[in-house]
A and B are shown apart, each in its own frame.
Chain A
Amino acid sequence: MRSDELENIWNKFEEDLSKISSPQDLIEARDKYLSRGRGLVSFQLRQLGSIPKDQRPQRGRLLNELQNRVSKALAYRKEELVKEEEAIEVPVTRDKTLPSIPVEMGHIHPLRKLAREMEEICVGMGFELLEGPEVETEYYNFEALNIPEEHPARAEQDTFYLPGQMLLRTHTSPVQIRTMERRRPPLRIAVPGRVFRRDTVDATHSPMFHQFEALVVDEGINFAHLKGTLETFLKALFSESTQIRLRPSYFPFVEPGAEVDISCHFCKGKGCRVCKQTGWIEVLGAGMVHPHLFQEVGYDATRYTGFAWGMGIDRLALLKYQIPDMRLFFENDIRFLQQF
């Protein structure tokens, strides 16, 4: 056996090696060269016995070397194949700084966003959410709420009238009456909804806007409870450090009545443009339900007491999200809607 025979085996191997492109090929090559039975190299090793004794050590050494080289080459190729296989998954380019394929999510309207926040806080406090009709009767919108005909709050210029002595409700309060008519206390309800006032349009006024109203009626409900509930609600809506202040005020359907301010979260009470230097921002009207309302719905006013509050969602959204003009809510510019 001459050494060029081994050369031949190696050359043949290298040729085969270059053709290996799959794990199957690898197995076949391994088989061909290194298999105990038929492998070309193994065969040569077994032939060692038939060559002259003095040539055996050297031959043996050369064969072992060949076997190692083949083995190593196959192992390396195996690794390469694995890498290549994985490499097929690699995308077109390695430049990961190229722009991503955008995921486009729509946005709910900021007014709904704020209304939802209020709803969630109220449901968390055990309130039941309700809604009512936008087209109302004079009775539910005024009379039942202790606003008789001559009352200044009933100025014709402020209400939109519709055929058949109907009107567009000017507040969500009618739903309080509608609910109390159908149910007995205890009541804990919250009412979001659209309302209409005949106001000229400007940055803070619109003929159409939205309110959020709450009503609690039960035995033993008092002014202290009104304060407590408002505090919890407003702190949850704004921040834990928000302070509230109640000032006497007048609304026909509550007595005592109050206007509620929160501490200005922009200047932390020091005074700024937003709170007009007072450190306080007015957010809602509230009070103890007027006994006339209970009379209208047939509740025993000596046994039950209640409180209610109402706030303008649009106005609050202007404040909370720092929006300069209310008209933006109804223009629906997509660049505006996508900010919330």
Chain B
Amino acid sequence: MKVSYDWLCDFLDFREIGTGPEQLATVLVKIGFSVEALEEIGNDIVFDLEISSNRPDCLSHLGIARELAVHYGMDLCIPDLTSPVGQQGLETFSISVLERELCPRYTARLLQNVSVKNTPDWLKKRLEKLGHRSINNIVDITNYVMFHIGQPLHAFDFEKLNSGSIVVRRACSGETLKTIDGSEQELDEDMLMICDSKNPIAIAGVMGGLETEVGRGTSVVMLESAYFDPLQVRRTSKKLGLNTESSYRFERGSDVELPLLGLNLATRLIRQTDKDCQVSKSVHDTYHGDKKNGCITLTANRIRQVIGVEIADEKVNGILKSLGFSMRGNQGKWEVFSPSFRKDVRLEEDLIEEVLRHYGYDQIKSVFPRSRAVGSYQKHDKKQRKIIEIMLAQGFSEAITHSFTSLEKERDFGVEETRLVTVENPLSEEHSLLRTSLLPGLLQSIRRNSYRGNKRLKLFEIGKVFWLDKQNINEETRLGIVASGLNKPFHWNVPENDENFSFFHMKGLIRGLMEALNQNALLENTCASFIEEGHGVSISLAGKKLGIVGVLTSHLHQSLRLSSPVILAELSLDILYSKELLEPCFLNLAKYPFVESDISFIIDREINFKRILKTVQSLDIIELQGIDLVDRYKGPGLPSGKINYTLRLTFENPERTLTQEEANGFSQKIFSELVDILAIQPRL
């Protein structure tokens, strides 16, 4: 909200006490009004203040001046707000408020023989400084009063009304109104309207109608100054998309004592600027009394308890009184009554804030609270850190992608539509659902990187996914991993670094993570719509599905502009975190050196490696410590349909060193078993 230094001086002569705009700005910030900007306009400075929504009483120069007066310990200079004497025998009219709850107070007055003309310069300039253009003297004065003391007013061209009566009622279905901004508004039965005997002529508290607006031809003016229910004004304003200075003040809850004062001030100002106009004697006021604010008990003890510092009774008393509160009591205990313009103060804590604000937040010396509490991380934190450590060590960087997704993306990943959580009011189609998996988002990141020329990508993400299950929205934390391109950066001297990240790298990574978290995972063949057929594996833990690893299907790979395949994996972390991390426990080191013996053979391609391992293990040779695959050859020179494996078998005996002959003996036994069971043949 804009406030002019010059204008503020009407209420408090800052110039007299030598307080300039910069000093005022500092004070305003100190007492709770952020200064967003300071603008020099002519000889004046205009502050752009941020007024919080709980302080509608500060939406005027009077309101701000009142706060400053408390700080400077000065008295406010308030304009004459008494009713000017009017003339009898002027036209009369009636006011009928049908919705008492929505309009607790409606005041109005007639002015005749009005000349609608240009606004006096001083007033025009003041409005312009605040960013409002001058319209005519009458309308400008209504706006002036609003910025001056905070009461929005509206002026009607009385002669344009259908009979001299005002009805404050809800709109009837089908009614419309052309407002002063030229647009046609469709009204509904919830909206409060100011009407003449037939039609709506203004939207209460929001905007006036075009037909009854005061213009050059107007000679009889009806001034309206009222209080409208905040919620109603807000609802109406929102529905119609009409936000005005007037609706802004009403929807935050203006002061029910102010309408008459505003009316009086406006009348005085009009008479001042237009000597010939005639003011009616009668002043309409439908006031039925306000629910009085209850009394709040405030104690010095409570102040000390909340703030931590002793504030002298006189100070407390002084601050609250200057703010407009009435105080009864002494010696650390008061009964306080809030003024009509402070509906935001209802509790003892609200009063304490008022006191503290003006005492000065900066006056409270900081104290670090002692405590016996011991800090702690979350239960799963150790495990999560372990995972992240491993990912980083493998060259993966962490991505954070959007929790929102689109139907298209989810379809690509084969998600059942009934599981999707819809956002009822999304910002766009792109972001109209909650993600059921981290993979689509990670893939999008890959695409973006690839288009920008980053072709070697290793990303992971830890985040939540959501799904619908019988009306319930579930959420779960997952780990998503995607990789494409060279596993290690290319290097001039190390040729083996020209190998792309492959399914087997991902499998190794997952196994590593499982081991670090002390879990035994079961890997089994699986398929999914986003995984290349035959290149997917599911991971499960004690029968529960944990996740999936695989190569991205070529159909989704196309748009990525990458020459290397994309490998993906996704795991549920909530399930993974269920087992405790093991404390290390020492195992004896082997005393005697191990002996290696290699066997090489050709075997049917169809037989997968697991079967070979199982066959070897089935012999239960205790000395067998390790089976490593050292070579796998598919090339020319082999009979068709066959593949050549070289296995390195490691043997160890805890009591003595095995001889090479003994080791070879074992491997021969193993070889024979493989011949018997899997029909292997020696390499020729």
**B-contacting residues of A (Cβ < 8 Å)?**
92, 98-99, 101-102, 104-109, 111-112, 119, 122-131, 133-135, 150, 152-153, 156-157, 160-164, 166, 168, 186, 188, 194, 196, 198, 200-201, 207-208, 216, 218, 220-225, 227-232, 245-250, 255-259, 288, 290-291, 305, 329-335, 337-338
- Among A160, A218, A332, which residue has its beta carbon within 8 angstroms of that of B449? A332
Number of chain B interface residues as a range: 35 or more
Rounded to whole Å, the gap between the CB of B561 and the closest CB of chain A is 15
The distance from the CB of A278 to the nearest CB of chain B, in whole angstroms, is 9
Q: How far is the CB of A329 from chain B (nearest CB, A)?
A: 6
* Chain A minimum-CB-distance residue to B52: A250
Chain B interface (Cβ < 8 Å from any Cβ of A): 29-32, 34, 52-55, 230-231, 234, 251-252, 304-309, 347, 349-350, 352-353, 356-357, 361-362, 364-369, 371, 373-378, 381, 388, 391-404, 421-427, 431, 434, 445, 448-449, 452, 454, 457-460, 463-464, 466, 468, 471-473, 475, 488-489, 491-494
Would you give 23 A-B contacts (Cβ < 8 Å), ordered by A? A101-B494, A102-B488, A106-B397, A106-B398, A128-B373, A134-B466, A135-B434, A150-B231, A162-B434, A163-B422, A164-B471, A207-B404, A222-B306, A223-B306, A224-B364, A224-B367, A227-B367, A231-B366, A247-B30, A256-B356, A333-B449, A334-B449, A334-B459
B345 CB → nearest A CB, Å? 10
Give the CA-CA distance A133 to B252 in the complex, in Å.
Answer: 32
A-B contact count (CB 8 A): 243
The verdict on A152 contacting B53 (CB below 8 Å), with A133-B475, A160-B423, A246-B361 known, is yes
Q: Are A255's CB and B347's CB within 8 A?
A: yes
Given contacts A107-B392, A333-B452, 5 further A-B contacts (CB under 8 A): A152-B234, A152-B252, A163-B424, A249-B34, A337-B398
**Distance from B58 Cβ to chain A, minimum over Cβ atoms (Å):** 11
Residues of B within 8 A of A160 (CB): 423-426
Q: Which of A101, A127, A258 contacts B361 (CB 8 A)?
A: A258
Is there an interface contact between B375 and A247, defined as CB atoms closer than 8 Å? no
B403 nearest CB across to chain A (Å) = 6
Are B475 and A225 in contact, CB atoms less than 8 angstroms apart?
Answer: no
Q: Please determine whether A332 and B32 come into contact, CB atoms closer than 8 angstroms.
A: no
Chain A residues lying within 8 Å of B460, measured Cβ to Cβ, are 106
Chain B residues in 8 Å Cβ range of A229: 368-369
Cβ contact within 8 Å between B364 and A255: no
Contact A247 B29 (CB under 8 A): yes
Q: Contacts of B427 on A, CB cut-off 8 Å? A: 198, 200-201, 207
List residues of chain A with CB within 8 A of the CB of B431: 207
Taking the closest CB of chain A, its distance from the CB of B633, in whole angstroms, is: 28
* A222→B308 contact, CB < 8 A: yes
Contacts of B356 in A (CB 8 A): 223, 248, 256
Within 8 Å CB of B399, what residues of A?
109, 332, 337
Tell me how far the C-beta of A55 lies from the nearest C-beta in chain B, rounded to whole angstroms.
Answer: 61
A223 to chain B, nearest CB (A): 5
Residue of B nearest to A216 (CB): B369
Chain A residues with CB under 8 Å of B307's CB are: 222-224, 256
Most B C-beta atoms less than 10 A away, residue of A106, A130, A257:
A106
CB distance from B424 to the nearest CB of A (A): 4
With A229-B369, A288-B349, A334-B397 as given contacts, are A162 and B421 in contact (CB-CB < 8 Å)? yes
**Nearest opposing residue in chain A for B252, CB measure:** A152
Q: For the complex, what is the distance from the CA of A221 to the CA of B369, rounded to whole Å?
A: 7
Q: How far is the CA of A42 from the CA of B405 in the complex (A)?
A: 95
Separation of A320 and B398 alpha carbons in the complex (Å): 19
Please give, as numbers and ranges, the residues of chain A lying within 8 Å of B397 by CB-CB distance.
106-109, 334, 337-338
Residue of A nearest to B489 (CB): A102
CA distance A127 to B373 in the complex (A): 7
Among B398, B459, B491, point to the contact of A101 (Cβ < 8 A): B491
In the complex, the answer to whether B401 meets A332 with C-beta atoms within 8 Å is yes
Cβ 8 A contact of A105, one of B364, B395, B491: B395
**Set A106, A126, A188, A337: member contacting B391, Cβ < 8 A:** A106
A125 to B368, CA, bound (A): 10
The reply to whether A332 and B369 form a contact with Cβ atoms under 8 Å apart is: no
Which B residues are in CB contact (< 8 Å) with A256?
306-307, 349, 352-353, 356-357, 361
A106 with B396, Cβ < 8 A, contacts A129-B376, A163-B468, A331-B448 known: yes
Chain B nearest CB: distance from A245 CB in Å?
Answer: 7
Interfacial chain A residues near B449, Cβ < 8 Å: 332-334
